[in-house]
Each structure stands twice: as structure tokens, then as C-alpha cells.
Structure 1
Amino acid sequence: MILIKDHIQKLTPISDEDWDIFSTKFEKQILKKNIPIIVSGEVENYLYFIETGIVRFWIRTGDNEVTFDFAFEKSFFSAYISFLTREPTNWNIQTLTPTVLWRISYADLQIIYKQTNTGEKIGRLASENLFITAAKRKIALLTDTAEELYLMLFKEHLHLIQNIPLKYLASYIGVTPQALSRIRKRIS
């Protein structure tokens, strides 16, 4: 829970009274590698914080799985559109490594918004961060080469991407595993 508090404190100060309410609403989950967190067609009921581990976001297109994002330790994630709209998601999220999560339900988050002084501000700032991250990813996909995308991921998460299978990294940057192997060989 300390990691969550530290993350929130980076967004905005939180009083001990508000933290007491926040901290009672989070539930810890310990998941093994390759466990589905949400499956396409389900409604997302939780917002998650990763204490340790890596998760993968993917969609099925025909017979293929397309990886479109990863979430790493010390960050929040969810099938956020579904979480907000209360409609089924069209993507999947799964663990790629053994993962320790803290989750808060949609209903409990609404309680926090009503019962705390900082809840709505934290929610707004967290949503803005998710939007900024998604917008940067879209722009990078349109303007950066596959090599630049890989190097950015490598630079930001070097100690973690070693745990991501090559096929998922390749899908994430929009190339075949063979092309990614050539990129890795060229930059090493």
C-alpha cells in the first residue's frame, strides 16, 4: 500500500484522513504468470495498481493476437473505457510475469469520490495521465520507426522487458518477431 500512497502523493497531497478511507478500499491480488485479468466481452469492474510484475493488453484480430500496450510496476491500469462506461470491453489483459496487484472496485471508487476531499482530484489527475500516455503512444505509432519504438521501450523499462516474450514485443511495435530480432541484433 505504501507504493500506492507514494504514487498518489506524486499527483497531489493526500491527508491521513483521506488515506485511511482510500486504503480500506484496496484489495490485494497475487497472480501467477499468464493469468487473464479481464477478457473481451466482460465489463471492467476494477482499477488496478501493479506492485510488482508486468501485464499485457491485447486484442484478437482474426487468428492473431495484437499486443497494444503493457503496464509495469508502480502504475495504475484497467480496461479503462469499460471501467468508465460500464460497457463490455473489446480487449484482454493478462499477466506476463508473476504479479502482485492492488485493486479497487468501481463502486468503492465512487464512495471515495464522495467521502474524501481529494478523491475526485486524484481521479482526474490519474485520468489525465492515462490520456497523455495513450496520446503519446498513438503519436509514436504514427511517427516513429519500429526501431525507435523498441529503443524507447528498452530505455524506459530495460530491467523489465527482458521478461516479455519476443512475439509480444514485436506485436507491440508492429513488426514480425524476425524483424524485431534483426533490430535487436543491429542495435546491440
Structure 2
Amino acid sequence: MFFPKKATILQQGKTERHLSYVETGIVRLYMPKAGEDLTFGFSFSGSFVSAYDSFLTQTHCPYEIQALTDTVLWQIDYKDLQEVYAHTKIGNEIGRKNAENQFLVKSKRELSLLDKTAEERYLDLFAQRPELIRKIPLKYIASYIGVTPQALSRIRRRIS
């Protein structure tokens, strides 16, 4: 499924019905707030994306998912995925590995927020995906690492 740049993939308050694989593009997960959204995740080409908590529980999602660039997603709905899990060994293995990866990404970010400075978080993010990070607006990167856009500008000046 194609989503143009800035398109909403999942609205706050809706239930996540799909597990998606990002074929191309960049996606962000965020809490819409008056004044400034709070970005807490990105997914890039070659990775899975979902409001996974909403998907697993089939309950309303408290955040949104947005395409930051033109994005192509391959999607499987909840019911079909349950069929794959019930009838295929490889489906179970892929599902388990995706769940493990989702956990590791979340855990790594939480530990980073507790243990690293904003500058270290920025450098880590830049080191992980330098070619893609340049395509993400700085205000979203600032929110993701837990600083204001002005503080991120100071960090970028200091390390350049």
C-alpha cells in the first residue's frame, strides 16, 4: 500500500489492524500534542512497523503513525496473521523474531533515555542510519532524543 509523504497511516484512537513491512520510506510513531508532537519511534525500509500494542490487544491506539516520506508498506491484517501463526512454522518464527526485535528497539531507547546524554543519543541515531537520518526533519529528531529543536541545534553546532 502506498502512503504519500506526511500521510497518516494510523490515527490516534483507531485500532491497529495491520502489521506492516516497510518496503520503502520512513515512518514515525508519535503522540500528537498541542504545540509539539512527541516522537518516540522511527521505522525505515527493511523493517516492520505497527502500533504493536494496539495490534496485539486489538484496542484503540493512543498515538499516531505517519509517513515522513513517500512510503510503500506490505500489510497483513490481524486475522490473516493469526492464520499464518496457526498453520506455519516459518510464520511463527518470523512473528517471534519481529516481536523480539520490537522489544529490543524499545528497551534500547528506554535505556538510552535513562543512561545517555542527548548528544550521545543523537550521535547513536546518526551512526545507526546516517543516510536516512538526513531525511527526517530536525524537529522530529529533537523530540525523539528528548530535547527542543534549539537544544539539538546547539548539539549539532558543538559536534560539527
Give the TM-score normalised by the residue count of structure 2: 0.96
Please say if residues 3 and 9 of structure 2, whose CA atoms lie closer than 8 Å, have aligned partners that are also in contact.
Answer: no
Following the alignment from structure 1 to structure 2, what is the Cα–Cα distance between the partners of residues 122 and 50?
A: 15
Q: Verify: 1:143 aligned to 2:143, yes or no.
A: no
> Identity of paired residues, percent?
52
User: What's the CA shift for 1:62?
Assistant: 4.4
Following the alignment from structure 2 to structure 1, what is the Cα–Cα distance between the partners of residues 141 and 48?
A: 20
Q: Verify: 1:154 aligned to 2:135, yes or no.
A: no
| Mean Cα deviation higher: 164-173 or 59-68 | 59-68
Aligned counterparts, 1:117-136, within 5 A: 117-136=89-108
Q: Verify: 1:68 aligned to 2:40, yes or no.
A: yes
Please name the residue that 1:5 is paired with.
none
Q: Verify: 1:48 aligned to 2:20, yes or no.
A: yes
Q: What amino acid is the match of 1:167?
A: K
Aligned counterparts, 1:63-102, within 5 A: 63-102=35-74
Instruction: List alignment gaps of at least 5 residues for structure 2.
Output: none
User: What's the CA shift for 1:84?
Assistant: 0.2
Q: What amino acid is the match of 2:101?
A: N
Note the alpha carbon deviations across 1:107-157, whole angstroms, 9 max, x for none.
110111122122222211211111111111100011110000100110011
Please name the residue that 2:78 is paired with.
106
Please say if residues 19 and 49 of structure 2, whose CA atoms lie closer than 8 Å, have aligned partners that are also in contact.
Answer: yes
Aligned counterparts, 1:171-182, within 5 A: 171-182=143-154
User: What's the CA shift for 1:100?
Assistant: 1.3
Instruction: List alignment gaps of at least 5 residues for structure 1.
Output: 1-28
Q: What amino acid is the match of 2:131?
A: H
Q: What amino acid is the match of 1:41?
A: G
Following the alignment from structure 2 to structure 1, what is the Cα–Cα distance between the partners of residues 3 and 143?
A: 24
Following the alignment from structure 2 to structure 1, what is the Cα–Cα distance between the partners of residues 88 and 38?
A: 39
User: What's the CA shift for 1:92?
Assistant: 0.3
User: What's the CA shift for 1:186?
Assistant: 1.2
Q: What amino acid is the match of 2:37?
A: E
Please name the residue that 1:169 is paired with.
141
Following the alignment from structure 1 to structure 2, what is the Cα–Cα distance between the partners of residues 67 and 127?
A: 21
Equivalent pairs counted in the alignment come to 160
Runs of 4+ in 1 over 2 A off after TM superposition: 60-64
| Mean Cα deviation higher: 115-124 or 141-150 | 115-124
Q: Helix, strand or coil: the match of 2:32?
A: strand
